[in-house]
Each structure stands twice: as C-alpha cells, then as structure tokens.
Structure 1
Amino acid sequence: MNFDRSVDVLIVGSGAGGLVAALRAAEGGADVLVIEKGSLWGGTSATSGGGIWIPGSSLAAAAGQPDDLDDAFGYIRALTSDNVPDSQIRAYVDNAHVMLDWVERVAHTGYQALPYPDYYPETAGAREGFRTHLIGDSMHASDMEDASFATMQSASPAASLWGRINWKLDETYLALFRPKGWMKQMGKVMLGYWLDFPHRLKSPRDRRLTLGTKLLGSLRKALDKHKVPVWLETPLVSLIDHGGEVAGAVVMHEGREMRIGATKGVILAAGGFERNPDLRRDNLHGSLDLAHASGSQENNTGDALVAARELGAATRNLDAAWWAPTFRIPGEDRSRLSTTERALPYSIVVDQSGRRYVNEALAYHRFGEVMLESVRNPDLPKRDPSWFVFDSRYRDRYPAGPIIPGMPDALLTGTIKQVLLKADSTRELAEMMQVPVDVFEATVDRFNTMAEAGKDDDFGRGNAAYDRLYGDPRVTPNATLGSVAEGPFYAIPLHLGDIGTSGGLVTDDRGRVMRDDGSRIGGLYAIGNLAASVMGYSYPGAGSTLGPAMTFGYLAAGDAVGINS
C-alpha cells in the first residue's frame, strides 16, 4: 500500500492514556507518531486533577496499606455492568499497579497513595483509602521543551486558584480551611507565580505544573526524550482497512490529507463523544443541554468512534457518562465540576419543588446519577437544574464554583451575577428561585434542626468517610453540617453535567477492538473514554477514568509491539 508516511504505532489523541501508550511503545523501540485534533495537546487529562484509581499499588503497601486484588476485583464486579467480562476487570486489577510502577520509573510522575475513600463504602471490597493516587509534588515548565509547554492544554479554571494559579491538593485544603500558618504558605504560592519573570510579562499561564498538568508534563518530558513527534491540528479522517485489518489512518495535516501507515497498530485514545450534539442526542438520553452540559474540552466529538464503527467495531453502553453536578457560568466554554462545595457546612441542595432529595456530600458521579433520575422519571420533581443554597457564613468562608470567599459581592464579575441569587430572607430567596415558598422554608427549618444536632436523619450526610473528606474539621459535631440560618442567603443553579462519556468501543483485555461477532479487528486498539469503560455505569473511586485509560494504554502498546509480560 502507498503511504505518505509509515510508523510502527500511530496514537490518535494526546491525553494521559495516549501518552502512556506512546511512551510504552517508544520504550519498546517502536517508531511512534502521536496526532492531536486540537491546537493544544493534553486533552481532558490536562484539565483534570490527575487522580488515578489503582488497587494493590506498591505505593499503598509502602504507606502501610497493602491491598487485596481479589477484593478489588469483587468490588468492581459488584458495581460494573453485567456486559463487562471478568477478563477485562481482571486485566485492569492485575496490571494497574504494574503500569503505575512503570510510569513512576520512566516518567517520575510523583504519585502518592492517599487516604481517599472509595465512593461505594457499602459495597463489599471497598476501602477507606489508598486506592486513589494523586500527584503530590509539582514540576516547573522550564524542565520541559519550550514548544511542548507552549502548546500544552491548561488546567481547568475549577482546578486552579482564580482560574490562573495552579495548586496542589494540600494547598486547596489550606485555602479552604485556613489552619494556622496558611497565609504564609499560600503567600509563597502566589509570590512564586507573580515573581516568575520575565515569563509573567509574556503570559498569565502558570509555569508551575500540578495535578493533571504535572502528570501530562511528566509524560511529555519523557516522550520528548524519545523524540516522538506530536502533530497538532491533525484530526483523524478515517481508518485504512486492508483485508479486514487496520493498516493505518487518513489524517488532515497542514491543510492536506495524508495516509499514515502503522505496521504494528493504531491506538485510538481520542476521548469520548460528549461534545458532539448529534451523538449526544442519540445516546445520552436525559442530558440534552448540548452546548454546555460537559466539563470536558471541546474536541471530544467522537470522530474516532465513528471511524471505528465504519469498520464494524462493536459498541457497549453508549448511554453511559461520567455524570456530575456542575455550575455553568455564562461565557465559559465548559461547565465547572462541583466537588467540594456540596460537602461544606451552611449549605443545602434543593430541587424545583423546594425539597432536599439527596445526601449533598455524595461523590459527584453518584450525585449526578440521582439528578438523572428525575430526567428519566417525569413523576419526580425536576432536579436539573437544582439550587445550591448557602448562607452568609458559607459565603464568607468557602468557594462556590467561581465565587471566591472574602471577595465583596459588588466585585463579582457580571457573568457570575447573572446566575447568583441573593436575598435577605429564605422566603425572598424562594421567590427568586421560583420554588414553593412554604415548602422551601420548611425544608430549611428541618435541615437546620438536624444540623444543630449533627445528624442528618433524612439522607445521612456526613455518615460516610467520603462525605467527611471535604467537610470542615472546625465544625462540630458533623463537619459537613451547618445550619442555613444567617442572612443574606444565596443560591446558584446546579446543573446535571458530565466530565465525559464512558460508553464506547468494545475492547478485550489488551485494548484490542472487537466486532459484534467477537472477532478482533486486527491492528486496532482503543483506550480511555473512547472505549467502553471497564467500570460500566459506575464510578468506584476517584481516578476511575484516568486509571483505566493509562493501564489499557500501557497494555495496548505492549501488545502492539510485543513486549507485554
């Protein structure tokens, strides 16, 4: 066959899964090319917190918290959908920790196993920590090649201070709860940002990389050492079929179509389809605000999914997504994920009937699933949008999406003021929210009574370890409960959104793409949100997206170049 260029392995997509696959193949001696549809590389991974859910890691064992892989398998098996085979779960559980050890060795990502609880503590096999791994340190962009940093996807506004200064997990804790000495430590962070000359005169971007940007920066630095090219603004057009196997791909590059041959495989790592209105309308029944529903980056439009289906690839669970409650700020190109806010005291969430309907401190996917119930059941009061309600104490102490504590209301931006409601009384706030006044006031009164007692008799807020993770330890007897009692009172819409789709191409235990009849499409692999998740419809713990993406990227590349153990 005639090609404009031939490589051993072609990677489509430049998120964490794609870069792990590229690095694994390059380490194995393969000639690798990475293509990226957008003008920036890093995908949604770079905008994320960078967490990965990895059972049985050596880092957990070193922290005195060894895990049982059979327990982890049972935990996922109980939560995932029936159409996910045992072999795929087993492949993940048995290889995720192997991948992490390898990534730490070759890319120095700086992961730590933390006491971050699993999301379903009531399910057998769950643990109260040390399966979720987060990056604890930072790196400076000066350690990367200049061109690589210049074209790197920035952190999400929700994962940085003022949408500008990158921070680590322990620094968010300092800003939230202000323990003794917090101003000095946060002052160092801000001073480091403002004194980064001469770069500060050129760009507002923070060159201190943390969380997702640290992960991607570490992977790209390692990849650059292998001289692996990353072509930007190079969308996939189609896959090249040669006798029922994939021999390469047609791409658009520098204004013209090119045929790229891939002698050992094409690994699709191009993300989900959540930013494609047609695919979203056809599959994600219930979340139809197509322009603003997702918190992912704008290039996840399902191009690779469509290309693989044209070759007969099977799909699974296309109605699945990583659901989440989100804030939508006019003018922003994506929704902002709500993680910490709902577990903080002096706040509640009500539906359009003015009632609470859920433990507000639930993990975001579980919370999103409860919101979704009302979309699919017309007999329930509408929950999309809900109202996130808080009082003046919350306003003074904690953030609510982009609303910064301590900043006078008058100084909030006009776009925030478009969605934030403020009233002197709960009655007036109810009228502004257009919910039944008497019902809302009764809801607040009952909640306040329970908050004063420190026990949520209705939904158990604060009972689980995960609930308390983001609670304020200064508030007793329940760190997540505080009465909504001191005016002025505030409310901001809380929408049903997502951080990506989780259904996609059917793959096997090495990321190889399958047909409906169970046969394999030779030369084709899929990983990350493009592939149907090993987690099915569930989200077992923080990092359940990136963990499998990186693990199956590692396995797929190893299979393609023949270096899997």
Structure 2
Amino acid sequence: MEQNEFDVVVVGSGAGALLAAIRAADQGLKPLVVEKTALLGGTSAISGGGIWIPDNHDMPKAGLRDSIEAAFHYVRTCARGLSSDDRILAYVETARQMARYLAEIGVPYRCVPSYADYYPTLDGAMPGGRTMDPMDFNAAKLGVQDLELLRPTSPGQLVLGRMHINAFEARTMLARERKAKFVLLWMMARYYLDYPWRNKTKRDRRLTGGQALLGGLFTALRKRGITLWLESPLQSLTEKDGRVTGVVVQRGGQDVAVTARRAVVLAAGGFERNQQMREQYLPKPTDQGWTATPPEANTGDAIRAGAALGGALRLMEHTWGAPTIFVPKEEKNRAMFVERSMPGCMVVNGRGERFLNESGPYPEFQQAMFANNDKTGCAIPAWIVFDATFRANYPIGPIMPAMAVPDSRLRKSWLGTVYWKGETLEELAQQIGVDPQGLAASAKRMTEFAKTGKDLDFGRGDNVFDRYYGDVNVKPNPNLAPIEKGPFYAMKLNPGDIGTKGGLLTDRDARVLREDGEAIEGLYCVGNNSASVMGPSYPGAGSTLGPAMTFAFRAIAHITGKPIALERTDLLEQTA
C-alpha cells in the first residue's frame, strides 16, 4: 500500500467537509480531502445554500433583534428531547462565529429578513432573519477548469435550464411582485451578453445558492493549496489502542492507507442512496429513487465505518423529508419546495381528499404523507392537482407557466409521466386513479375557502411562513385560489428527501461517541453522517448546512487544542 501522512483527513467534499479542511489549514494543520465521486460538492452543491444562523451579524442591518436564549429554547422545543442540550447550545452560540468566518474566507452571507422559521407558532421562533443566503459568486474567481470539477446544480435551481437565481430573486418571481418581470429581464440580459464567458463554458458565470457556497469554498481550498483526492471512496477507518489513526481509501484501483496524525473528520453525507439501509431503518414504503440527492453518493459509507469502531447511532429512522417528482432523463427526482404554496392547487390522496397544509414545511409534508398512508393506504403517492388558472400563472416542477410555455410546447413524453391532464376533474381522476367524487368535493371546498380566505381544514396561509411564497396579488389569502377552471392537471408526489438525518452520535465538539458516552479518540463527524442536532425537526431553512459547517468549525478548534467554551451555561442549568 502507498503510505501518506496528513494532520487531518476529511472524508467528503460538501460544505462541512471543505469548511473543516480550510479551517484546519488556517490553524496551521495539513489537511487532506477525500471524495468518493469524480465531482466535488456533494449534496451541498445542489442545495439552496442557505444556512440557519440565530442572532447573526446581518440581522441588525434589517432591523431585526434576536437572542441566543430565544434560539436555544426554540431549537430545544423542536428537537423533542432527541438532541442534547449542550450540543444545541453549542450550535446556536457558535453558528454566528462560523458565519463571520465564512465572510473572512470569501464566502459572505446575508440574512433573508422575511423568511420565517418553519414553526412560527413556537416560542422563540422568528418571523425572519435567521436564514442566510450566500452572496452571488463570480465563477471566474474559481476558473473554468475547477468549475468543471464542481458538481452542477439541479435543473430545478436554474431559470430556463441555464441561469442561476438567488433566494431573493426566486421569491420576487414566484410571488409575482411588481418587479418580477424586470428581474427576469435583467437575468437574461446579463447571461446572454456575457459572450466571453459563454464561449468558455455553458455554465453560468454568476453562481448562487449552493453553487455560490461551494464555489467560494473550493476557491478558498485552492488558495491554501489543500490536497484534494477525487474518486477516492472510503474503505475503512484505521485505529490503534482505541484511537483512530487514519483511513484506507481506494485510489486508482488500489487501496491506499493514509495516516491522520491528529484526526479524521467524517463529512460524507447520509445513507439515502443505500436501499438496504433504507429498508433497515426508514419508514415503509421507501425507495432510494425518491431522493433528490446525487445517485452515486450518500450510501452511508462513513456511518458504517464509524459504527464498525463502536460509534453509537441515533435518529436513523428520520430524513430531511421533502415531496419529490420524477422527471424523465434527469438523474434524480426533483424536490418540490415552493410551488405547492402558490394559490390554486391542492394535494390529495387516492380518495381525492386533502390531508395536509400544502404550504407547510416540506419535512412536515413528507411526514404527513406517511401518516395518512398508514391511515388510508392511499397517500403514497399523493397528487398535486391544479386548474388552468394556476397552470397559466405559475411554474411547477419542470413546467413553466402556460403564459410562457403552453401545453402545445411541452414535451409530449411528459404527458402521463410528469403531468396528467383532463378537461374535467372526473376525467383527471380516472387517469390518476383517484376517487372522482372525493376529488370534486375537495376542489369545491377549496374554492369556497379561497373566497373567504380561510382554510377551515388545515389553516393554509394562516402564518407568516406559508405566506412567504404566496402570490402577493391574490386576496384575501395569497395561498388560496379557486380550483374550478378546466382543463385540470395533476402531478405525482413521492415521499422523498434531501438526505437522511440519522447517523453517528456526536458531542458538542463533533467527537463521535460510543454507546457509553465516551468519545472515540481522533474521530469527528459533521453533516448528514452524524445524528442531527435538530433532532427529528427542521427549525428553519439552512438547518442542514448551518450545523454541518458550525460543528466542523468547532471540531477543528478541539483538534487544535483550543475547544470553544459554552457561554450561556445558565441556560443548561435552567433545563436541568
């Protein structure tokens, strides 16, 4: 075996992994990043790039006030006792420090003032500001050659399949604000007039979301001369006298042993692409094809390697749930995050009955599908149904609004695979196998709700989170509109995910713990291969990437002998 020695070996190349490597280099250590696939970035690269950072440095600019105490109690309530209090405190205290560090290394963020926490009725929730969106990143700083190594974003994150869009622009366009047309025209003009760049690559020079985050981190990685091995999957961890001493990876068809003088940091994603592990741990039915993450990644390699050395596992039955749809010729399902909030659609089971608030948080949406399927046996798949008015005005999945792309211009192969269409609700119900009377009754009831602005069944549009992606032009409720004008359409929804959230149990410094609570020396774990600090919940947009990078930041501090102390220990005493 070829021998190699580094101070820190980081397994994976998503946001948490790269932050760990960059921070290690800045602290005088020699890191190595090993990535299983041929592309860098993992699921982080195809994400929205948001991070959930309580009391962050940008909130005062938006006139918002937050506190560590409020954030701690909010996350603690969300976690439902399935995450330790000191770990929760470590996150809410250190996240803002990590966010400032991102700006220092060339990856600045700004808060989204009106994007509410996902559970706005809980004590400690904020109506906006904790979620932060990455500033646009100029790919020229990275260079075309390295850009080709960065995993491209999902088609659903692009306008017209080419142009990047950030969270602020997406909200403006989906909510049909007055400036929406001007935003679109500016994006198109900027892209098509950028001849010098488009002659080099088809990928947009302006990176947003997860692409901006990973583009910035990759640039910082290169500036520091950090060693990166692609196509080098983890085979096992090595140990001596109870301490992790390195890894064995496959490189060039050969097993290569790498010594980690200080530590190994596992940051390799969850297990959602491993059907065997899904069958073992997740609610049924389950299918790796429903997930919206890269198909060749996230097979639980790091979780199994850590467990083989005695690492405890927690939250293995939970995912970062999201409804997903199948689009032919795309490598993975598309998650449906926001379109279901627009007025004039509803989600039904096989009885044609609504069973949830369509505009609610996507994890709750997925959980509601499982719960109703357990009750009725016909909520997996579910169906999102909308009428001609919705079709004319709003995008949904890969389908642009009919005012821009009428049915006659849609791919013929999509009819009956991506969407179904009927001149009447009864005709549509027959095509999708849904009870026609139930469907008609649900549409009639939704139309009545739209007139009054009150969803008496599920409270859709009653809170600030629901309304964020509603149509500002629709009154009295931006999330409700009649479903009465034919033709009618439907799309099939699966109980998908954007990753699993169960994995190795860690402490507040990201050290992997055994069942007895003792740490495995030299082994750290961050991101989706660790059990989430958020427990079974999703407190706000950015609850995956925020903790991944924050605990990477804390892990390097501990590895260098400078652990970050907790400040508000009085909050722990209050909950003891």
**Cross-structure match for 2:47:** 48
- Pair 174,111 (structure 1): closer, same or farther in 2 beyond 3 Å: closer
Does residue 545 of structure 1 match 2:544? yes
**Cross-structure match for 2:292:** 295
Residue 496 of structure 1: SS of its match in structure 2?
coil
Give distance in 2, aligned partners of 1:180 and 1:56: 31
Give distance in 2, aligned partners of 1:414 and 1:111: 42
**Cross-structure match for 2:280:** 282
CA displacement 1:301-320 (0-9 Å, x = unmatched): 01111111111111101111
Cα drift, residue 201 of structure 1: 4.4
Amino acid at match of 2:235: V
Give distance in 2, aligned partners of 1:476 and 1:316: 45
**Cross-structure match for 1:93:** 92
- Pair 15,415 (structure 1): closer, same or farther in 2 beyond 3 Å: farther
Residue 376 of structure 2: SS of its match in structure 1?
coil
**Cross-structure match for 1:471:** 470
Cα drift, residue 383 of structure 1: 1.2
Cα drift, residue 275 of structure 1: 0.3
TM-score (norm 2): 0.94
Give distance in 1, aligned partners of 2:548 and 2:539: 15
- Asked if 1 retains the 8 angstrom alpha-carbon contact of 2:15 and 2:549, the reply is yes
Does residue 366 of structure 1 match 2:369? no
Amino acid at match of 2:115: Y
Cα drift, residue 256 of structure 1: 1.6
**Cross-structure match for 2:174:** 176
Residue 195 of structure 2: SS of its match in structure 1?
coil
**Cross-structure match for 2:164:** 166
- Asked if 1 retains the 8 angstrom alpha-carbon contact of 2:109 and 2:132, the reply is no
Give distance in 1, aligned partners of 2:177 and 2:489: 26
Give distance in 1, aligned partners of 2:222 and 2:163: 26
- Pair 69,389 (structure 1): closer, same or farther in 2 beyond 3 Å: same
Does residue 392 of structure 1 match 2:388? yes
Residue 240 of structure 1: SS of its match in structure 2?
strand
Cα drift, residue 221 of structure 1: 1.2
- Asked if 2 retains the 8 angstrom alpha-carbon contact of 1:3 and 1:261, the reply is no
- Pair 162,442 (structure 1): closer, same or farther in 2 beyond 3 Å: same
Residue 282 of structure 1: SS of its match in structure 2?
helix
- Asked if 2 retains the 8 angstrom alpha-carbon contact of 1:305 and 1:530, the reply is yes
Give distance in 1, aligned partners of 2:338 and 2:234: 37
Residue 419 of structure 1: SS of its match in structure 2?
coil
Amino acid at match of 1:531: S
Give distance in 2, aligned partners of 1:318 and 1:523: 23
- Asked if 2 retains the 8 angstrom alpha-carbon contact of 1:56 and 1:69, the reply is yes
Cα drift, residue 332 of structure 1: 2.0
Residue 387 of structure 1: SS of its match in structure 2?
strand
Give distance in 2, aligned partners of 1:171 and 1:89: 32
TM-score (norm 1): 0.96
- Pair 146,562 (structure 1): closer, same or farther in 2 beyond 3 Å: farther
Cα drift, residue 49 of structure 1: 0.5
Give distance in 2, aligned partners of 1:179 and 1:538: 31
CA displacement 1:15-39 (0-9 Å, x = unmatched): 1111111111111011111111111
Give distance in 2, aligned partners of 1:130 and 1:169: 13
**Cross-structure match for 2:63:** 64
- Pair 11,415 (structure 1): closer, same or farther in 2 beyond 3 Å: farther
- Asked if 1 retains the 8 angstrom alpha-carbon contact of 2:59 and 2:65, the reply is yes
- Pair 174,114 (structure 1): closer, same or farther in 2 beyond 3 Å: closer
Residue 129 of structure 1: SS of its match in structure 2?
coil
Cα drift, residue 175 of structure 1: 3.3
Does residue 334 of structure 1 match 2:332? yes
Does residue 124 of structure 1 match 2:123? yes
Amino acid at match of 2:293: S
- Asked if 2 retains the 8 angstrom alpha-carbon contact of 1:109 and 1:214, the reply is no
Give distance in 1, aligned partners of 2:241 and 2:177: 65
Amino acid at match of 1:520: A
Residue 250 of structure 1: SS of its match in structure 2?
strand
Give distance in 2, aligned partners of 1:421 and 1:361: 22
Q: Which moved more, 1:7-16 or 1:169-178?
A: 169-178
CA displacement 1:349-381 (0-9 Å, x = unmatched): 111110111111101111111112134x2x324
- Asked if 2 retains the 8 angstrom alpha-carbon contact of 1:346 and 1:391, the reply is yes
CA displacement 1:212-263 (0-9 Å, x = unmatched): 1001111111121111121111111110111111100001112221111111
Give distance in 2, aligned partners of 1:45 and 1:356: 33
Cα drift, residue 199 of structure 1: 4.5
**Cross-structure match for 2:524:** 525
Cα drift, residue 122 of structure 1: 2.0
**Cross-structure match for 2:571:** none
Does residue 515 of structure 1 match 2:514? yes
**Cross-structure match for 1:235:** 233
Amino acid at match of 1:15: G
Amino acid at match of 1:467: D
**Cross-structure match for 1:82:** 81
Amino acid at match of 2:259: G
CA displacement 1:486-512 (0-9 Å, x = unmatched): 111111111110000001000000000
Q: Which moved more, 1:176-185 or 1:500-509?
A: 176-185
- Asked if 1 retains the 8 angstrom alpha-carbon contact of 2:175 and 2:469, the reply is no
**Cross-structure match for 2:184:** 186
Residue 500 of structure 1: SS of its match in structure 2?
strand
Q: Which runs of 4+ in 1 moved over 6 A?
A: none
CA displacement 1:132-160 (0-9 Å, x = unmatched): 1112x312211114432120011111211
Structure 1 residue corresponding to 2:398, chosen from 394, 398, 402: 402
Amino acid at match of 1:8: D
- Asked if 2 retains the 8 angstrom alpha-carbon contact of 1:28 and 1:563, the reply is no
- Asked if 2 retains the 8 angstrom alpha-carbon contact of 1:247 and 1:523, the reply is yes
Give distance in 1, aligned partners of 2:538 and 2:249: 34
- Asked if 2 retains the 8 angstrom alpha-carbon contact of 1:156 and 1:163, the reply is no
Give distance in 2, aligned partners of 1:551 and 1:426: 49
Give distance in 1, aligned partners of 2:521 and 2:430: 61
- Asked if 1 retains the 8 angstrom alpha-carbon contact of 2:91 and 2:551, the reply is yes
Give distance in 2, aligned partners of 1:251 and 1:398: 47
Give distance in 1, aligned partners of 2:335 and 2:29: 38
Give distance in 1, aligned partners of 2:455 and 2:316: 36
CA displacement 1:362-413 (0-9 Å, x = unmatched): 01111111112134x2x32421111111111111110110011121212212
- Asked if 2 retains the 8 angstrom alpha-carbon contact of 1:403 and 1:416, the reply is no
Give distance in 2, aligned partners of 1:123 and 1:263: 45
Uncovered stretches (5+) of structure 2, i.e. residues with no partner:
565-576
Residue 133 of structure 1: SS of its match in structure 2?
strand
**Cross-structure match for 1:267:** 265
Q: Which moved more, 1:55-64 or 1:193-202?
A: 193-202
Cα drift, residue 113 of structure 1: 4.2
Give distance in 2, aligned partners of 1:287 and 1:391: 30
What value does the CA root-mean-square deviation take over the aligned residues?
Answer: 1.6
- Asked if 1 retains the 8 angstrom alpha-carbon contact of 2:351 and 2:438, the reply is yes
- Asked if 2 retains the 8 angstrom alpha-carbon contact of 1:56 and 1:68, the reply is yes
Amino acid at match of 2:46: T
Superposed, which structure 2 residues align to 1:474-485 within 5 Å?
Answer: 474-485=473-484
CA displacement 1:284-312 (0-9 Å, x = unmatched): 1224223x110111201011111111111
CA displacement 1:503-553 (0-9 Å, x = unmatched): 100000000001111111111000000000011111111111111001001
**Cross-structure match for 2:573:** none
Residue 142 of structure 1: SS of its match in structure 2?
helix
- Pair 438,166 (structure 1): closer, same or farther in 2 beyond 3 Å: same
**Cross-structure match for 2:568:** none
Residue 7 of structure 2: SS of its match in structure 1?
strand
